[in-house]
């Protein structure tokens, strides 16, 4: 079996799977890869950004096992003028619900974007309200619970409007637009992720 590796930019409102589910778009509508290649991990239907597709079970294990705790960077547009206090709370960790049980998130890195990041337009765009700001923040986490980023920003009073996963370890979206894909060699992906083969 030849091992294959792809970085993709999952568009908004696309399921992180190749199978059909009702009338929702799936990865199969945007990406043509061998049948044994699957996404590592997931991104919600209403989130966008970086996914790794592969048939390398060893890489899959390294990326999904919490023991390896690699960084994931999210660019998050929030509803309202997010405060330094809210960022500090995010950095220390906040209480959210995971599978119906209370969970305290691990500490993370949280930053303001001084200038709006250069991101592709979203279709449809977020709801624009002239009187309420919608700034961007960067969150760098080493864990990935279900809908964690959205739950975290809501917990500090600033719901997520748009969520883009920009980076997984050293692999980024740079040079990719929504619906685009880049194939890498095993050597390239392992080097980007700083994993030993």
Task: Quote the pLDDT of residue 170.
Answer: 94
At residue 1, does pLDDT exceed 80? no
Task: Quote the pLDDT of residue 68.
Answer: 80
Q: How do residues 103-112 score in pLDDT, each as one tens digit?
A: 999 999 999 9
> Which CATH number fits the domain 5-66+170-192, given the four candidates 3.40.50.720, 3.10.129.10, 3.10.310.10, 3.30.70.580?
3.30.70.580
Task: Quote the pLDDT of residue 49.
Answer: 98
pTM of the full predicted structure?
A: 0.95
Please give the positions annotated as active site: 44
Contact 182, 3 (CB under 8 A): no
Task: Quote the pLDDT of residue 105.
Answer: 96
- Per the model's pLDDT, the better-predicted residue between 195 and 162 turns out to be 162
Which part of the chain is CATH 3.30.70.1560? 71-168
Share of residues in the chain with pLDDT > 90 (%): 82
Task: Quote the pLDDT of residue 64.
Answer: 86
- Alpha-carbon 151 to chain mean position: 14
Question: What residue ranges in the chain does DSSP mark as E strands?
Answer: 5-10, 38-40, 48-54, 72-78, 95-98, 101-104, 109-112, 136-141, 160-168, 171-172, 181-184
Which run of H or of E encompasses 169?
none
Which part of the chain is CATH 3.30.70.580? 5-66+170-192
> Which CATH number fits the domain 71-168, given the four candidates 3.50.50.60, 3.10.20.600, 3.40.50.150, 3.30.70.1560?
3.30.70.1560
Contact 161, 79 (CB under 8 A): yes
Q: Look over the chain and give the mean of its residue pLDDT values, rounded to a whole number.
A: 94
Task: Quote the pLDDT of residue 195.
Answer: 77
Contact 141, 168 (CB under 8 A): no
At residue 156, does pLDDT exceed 90? yes
Q: How do residues 34-88 score in pLDDT, each as one tens digit?
A: 999 999 988 999 999 999 999 999 999 889 887 888 899 999 999 999 999 999 9
């Amino acid at each position: 079996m030849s091992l294959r590796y792809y970085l993709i930019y999952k568009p908004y409102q696309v399921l992180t799977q190749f199978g059909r589910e009702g009338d929702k778009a799936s990865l199969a509508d945007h990406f043509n890869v061998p049948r044994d290649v699957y996404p590592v991990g997931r991104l919600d239907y209403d989130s966008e950004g970086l996914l790794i597709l592969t048939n390398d079970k060893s890489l899959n294990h390294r990326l999904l096992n919490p023991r390896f705790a690699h960084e994931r960077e999210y660019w998050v547009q929030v509803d309202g003028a997010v405060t330094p206090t809210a960022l500090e709370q995010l950095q220390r960790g906040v209480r959210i619900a995971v599978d119906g049980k209370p969970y305290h998130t691990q500490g993370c890195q949280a930053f303001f974007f001084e200038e709006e990041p250069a991101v592709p337009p979203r279709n449809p765009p977020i709801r624009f309200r002239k009187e309420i700001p919608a700034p961007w923040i960067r969150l760098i986490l080493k864990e990935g619970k279900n809908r964690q980023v959205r739950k975290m920003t809501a917990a500090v009073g600033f719901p997520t409007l748009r969520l883009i996963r920009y980076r997984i370890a050293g692999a980024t979206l740079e040079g990719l637009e929504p619906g685009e894909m880049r194939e890498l060699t095993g050597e390239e992906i392992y080097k980007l992720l700083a994993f030993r083969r």
